[in-house]
Structure 1
Amino acid sequence: MNHCYNQYMRKFITLSFLISAPFWLIATLFDNLALPINLPFSALSFIGPALAAVIATPKGQRRKLLLKCRPLARIRLKWWVVALFIMPVAILLSYTINGTQGTDMTPLFMVVPFIILYLIAAYCEETGWTSYLSTHLLRSKNTWAVGTIISCIWAGWHLIPFIQTGNSISWIIGQTVWTILFRIGLVWFYERSGQKGTIPLWMHATYNTAFSMLPFYGSSYDPEGGL
């Protein structure tokens, strides 16, 4: 049984990194462009996990895979509260306590385009990391084991984009630790909600939207000491 699920994991991870690699390489040509938001060109590698999951899934099961993390689903009210508000509130509280770096907040009207953009990106990522990998691994391992395994791989997958944004070593370490903790939380909420992929989808999208609404389109975001 474990051997079977290890095969699922190896196939998905290999495909995810192979599909993402061209974006990481191309980013070296484009990341000298001045962008208002602290994201590298290699952030477009978000399509990698989705494509990897689709390729690794038998044709007859792909529709079910792609619907797992749909943005609208019948879930209990408490899970909608968790999905939509826990990350924005956490970031707002952290910024309120620690964020004295600037007051040039991102215009409020940017919430809508950001949430659309990040829903698309989160859907692609969560189709791979949640709908495919978490679902398979949770059949043979407990929640904390799955969260730890996937979070470390997820953090490694993000490492090159973290470096390509020109961040300090301490920033990269801080964000890597946060990435690991965040994914463990996503796996935990996914399992506790009855494996509703809508939960991690919205938590992921609202987190990215919330930090992008910080001063200077999220460039003030600092995982070293809060925000």
Structure 2
Amino acid sequence: MSSIPGGVRCCSALVTAMSLPFIGLGAVVDSVRVGALGLPASAVMFVVPVLAAVLLVYRDEGRTAVWALLRRAFDYSAAPHKAWYLAAAGLPVVAAVAAHGIARGFDEADGGVPIALAALPFVVIATWFAATCEELGWTGYATDPLQQRWGPAWTGIALGIYWAVWHLVPLAQVGHEFWWIAGWFAGTVAGRVLIVWLHNVTGHGVLAAILFHAMLNVTAVATPDYDEPIVLIIGGALLTLAATAAACSWRTGRHNHLSLSRP
């Protein structure tokens, strides 16, 4: 692979540096629990990717380009086929339901829904906002320049690894064990490959990435036995299978019509 584009390199360095104070906060402030998901104080670093992207876009292109970047969060018209947005929202739900069902079939899970249904709309709003902040950085700013150098599959894998590593300290701060984190890590990298795929098939918009990311977080809150490593391992395997199918579609030339200029 050729070298990382300069803007993306600056963005990754800036994201890493700006995340350190939040990680420090997570070390001294107790975590909270939302449904099945433990959230350390460091989880508020979801604001960092969009802040880094805005700073770099403003430096390089000015205020007008910043507004263009932010508007991409609402680019519903970008997709030639709107059903892709349903796929973006539905894939994480299908993977989570299947993972819990398989674990339950092996008698490794038997819990009920860990959050009141009345609270779910508030969870959706909060996760949507957090996903928007992250995806304006990961997808809106970084993905297309990386695809120009590396292609979609390697972009998904490389960006997915960075995205997963970025979360490791917060996950450790809430006490997750090795196998839980291993399953989550695999699912997160696969999820990023799928986000790149959805980004491409929806006309290089950001909205599909936001939908997929938000629903990953909603299912983390609402999936029974989400603390059980087996649920994360099975979920990670299912998302990896889906990501492999997406990568195969790139290899055969389908859904790989790149138009990579950033508005």
TM above 0.5: yes
The reply to whether residue 86 of structure 1 matches residue 84 of structure 2 is: no
Q: Is the 8 A contact 1:49 1:128 kept in 2?
A: yes
Amino acid corresponding to residue 73 of structure 1 in structure 2: Y
* Structure 2 equivalent of residue 56 of structure 1: 56
Q: Is the 8 A contact 2:115 2:221 kept in 1?
A: yes
Identical amino acids, percent of aligned pairs: 26
Query: 1:172 Cα shift?
Result: 1.5
* From 157, 160, 181, the counterpart of 1:151: 160
Q: Is the 8 A contact 1:102 1:220 kept in 2?
A: no
Amino acid corresponding to residue 108 of structure 1 in structure 2: L
**Within 5 Å, which residues of 2 pair with 1:152-171?**
152-171=161-180
* From 175, 182, 197, the counterpart of 1:188: 197
Q: Is the 8 A contact 2:32 2:39 kept in 1?
A: no
Aligned CA distance change for structure 1 residues 47 and 34 (closer, same or farther; 3 Å)? closer
| Counterpart-to-counterpart distance in 2, 1:56 and 1:104 | 42
* Structure 2 equivalent of residue 107 of structure 1: 116
* Structure 1 equivalent of residue 33 of structure 2: 35
Structure 1 portions without partners, runs of 5+: none
Aligned length: 222
Q: Is the 8 A contact 1:106 1:215 kept in 2?
A: no
Query: 1:178 Cα shift?
Result: 1.4
Query: 1:146 Cα shift?
Result: 1.1
| Counterpart-to-counterpart distance in 1, 2:52 and 2:18 | 8
Aligned CA distance change for structure 1 residues 15 and 180 (closer, same or farther; 3 Å)? same
Q: Is the 8 A contact 1:38 1:219 kept in 2?
A: no
* Structure 2 equivalent of residue 200 of structure 1: 209
Structure 2 portions without partners, runs of 5+: 237-263
Q: Is the 8 A contact 2:84 2:208 kept in 1?
A: yes
Q: Is the 8 A contact 2:187 2:235 kept in 1?
A: no
The reply to whether residue 95 of structure 1 matches residue 100 of structure 2 is: yes
* Structure 2 equivalent of residue 77 of structure 1: 82
Aligned CA distance change for structure 1 residues 226 and 10 (closer, same or farther; 3 Å)? closer
Q: How much is the aligned-residue C-alpha RMSD, in angstroms?
A: 2.1
Give the TM-score of the pair, scaled to structure 1: 0.89
The reply to whether residue 174 of structure 1 matches residue 178 of structure 2 is: no
| Counterpart-to-counterpart distance in 2, 1:226 and 1:137 | 27
| Counterpart-to-counterpart distance in 2, 1:164 and 1:6 | 32
Q: What secondary structure sits across from 1:68 in the alignment?
A: helix
* Deviations, residues 145-186 of structure 1 (Å, cap 9, x unaligned): 211221111111111111111011111122111111111111
| Counterpart-to-counterpart distance in 2, 1:208 and 1:49 | 17
Give the TM-score of the pair, scaled to structure 2: 0.78
